[in-house]
Chains A and B, each alone.
Chain A
């Protein structure tokens, strides 16, 4: 039986993610309770807010350990969204330098406005270019690979094998990562209408 634990670390609008999962008719719970997370089949780490603050909030609730147990030892499908993707990096540079969860060798840096004066935050709908195939994007076509972004920081990594998708905002940046049972998106599927709903449906059907 599929059930999704939406990790609650007291930040941002996690209700939207819950509403989207409820819309597709899957059991979901917003929780920081280790027992509930241990019983869930899928783990979703949402996120809005600042990098350092989010990492601190996760630690304050003892969540990194619980996540590690479920994702690395039990191998549950894991989806990190936006800041929930960024905090997996080793280091973040939003409002000073902060250590992340260090799940991959990566840093989170401010997007620099390009020469044609792009506006920051990168806010709105943008095209995702997939580097490789992944069950999360099963059935998508180029015209449906358009998602809602809102962020001023992005992940950079030399671990190129883990890059699943990029997006062009003046220059390409990493907008999706995937390895093993882990997948992350810089964009917000819960705010991306049909494309986002279909991605979440793929996530809950995913058996890595």
Chain B
């Protein structure tokens, strides 16, 4: 059995990159892309573990995950359109009317 740790490390690093992107970026589209990176890196974990454990179900699960990620993005883009319509910006920090 090959060593799967390096592969998993790649996935985790991708996940962390995505997470940090969500935390620090202010442009909604970049945030959206970071979210995509996060969920797909999690999908990557599925594929890696599926490959090394010799079962195919993990790869099927990845297809589910990808489908979900795609529909999420679709809704996210719709929200971006609405954001631009009401405020003429997609800077997420501009949307902080509700607080405290």
- A, B: real partners: no
Question: Could you tell me which B residues sit within 8 Å of A by CB distance?
Answer: none
